[in-house]
A = this chain, B = another copy of it.
Amino acid sequence: MNTAAAFADYRSYPLISALTAVQPLADQVRVSWADGRVSPFHHPWLRDNCPCAQCVYTVTREQVLEIVDVPEDLVPAAVHIDASGCLCIDWQDGHASRFDPGWLRAHAYDDASRAERQAGKPKSRLWDNRLELPVFDYAELKSDPQVLLQWLLALRDTGLTQVRGVPTEPGTLAEVAKLISFIRQTNFGVLFNVQSKADADSNAYTAFNLPLHSDLPTRELQPGLQFLHCLVNDAEGGESIFVDGFAIADALRQEDPAAFRALCEIPVEFRNKDRHSDYRCLAPVIALDSLGQVSEVRMANFLRGPFDASVAQMPVLYGAYRRFIAMTREARFRLVRRLEPGQLWCFDNRRTLHARNAFDPASGARHFQGCYIDRDELLSRILVLQR
Query: Contact residues of A with B, CB < 8 Å?
Result: 8-10, 27, 40, 42, 44-45, 48-49, 57, 59-64, 66-68, 72, 107, 109-111, 114, 117, 181-185, 187, 198-203, 205-206, 208, 211, 218-221, 267, 271, 273, 275-282, 290, 301-311, 314-315, 318, 321-322, 325-326, 329, 374-376, 379-380, 383-384, 387
Contact = CB atoms under 8 A, between A and B. Distances in A.
A201 B60 contact: yes
Contacts of A184: 185
A57 B198 CA distance: 12
Contacts of A218: 376
Given A64-B302, A109-B307, A277-B384, 13 more contacts: A44-B315, A44-B318, A59-B199, A59-B206, A60-B203, A62-B302, A63-B301, A64-B208, A67-B318, A109-B309, A111-B310, A111-B311, A278-B387
Contact of A310 (B114, B117, B187): B114
A379 B280 contact: yes
B273 A9 contact: yes
A303 B62 contact: yes
Contacts of A111: 310-311
A57 B211 contact: no
B304 A63 contact: yes
9 contacts: A10-B278, A42-B314, A44-B318, A44-B322, A66-B325, A72-B322, A109-B309, A114-B308, A279-B376
A306 B46 CA distance: 9
A67 B305 contact: no
Interface core residue of A109, A205, A309 (most chain B CB under 10 Å): A109
A31 B356 CA distance: 39
A185 to B, nearest CB: 5
Contact of A64 (B202, B203, B282, B304): B203
A-B pairs with lowest CB-CB distance, top 9: A278-B383, A221-B221, A62-B302, A44-B318, A62-B203, A107-B306, A277-B380, A68-B325, A63-B302
A245 B202 CA distance: 38
Contacts of A203: 57, 60, 62, 64
A218 B114 CA distance: 21
A110 B312 CA distance: 10
A206 B58 CA distance: 12
A358 B306 CA distance: 52
Interface core residue of A64, A107, A208 (most chain B CB under 10 Å): A64
A73 to B, nearest CB: 11
A305 B182 CA distance: 25
Contact of A290 (B187, B267, B310, B380): B267
B10 A60 contact: no
Contact of A384 (B42, B183, B219, B276): B276
A200 B60 contact: yes
B278 A384 contact: yes
A271 B60 contact: no
A185 B177 CA distance: 14
Contacts of A221: 220-221, 374
A263 to B, nearest CB: 14
Contact of A40 (B62, B72, B206, B311): B311
Contacts of A329: 68
B375 A220 contact: yes
A376 B318 CA distance: 27
Contacts of A40: 311
Given A57-B208, A290-B282, A380-B279, A45 B200 contact: no
Nearest to A379: B280
Contacts of A314: 42, 45, 109
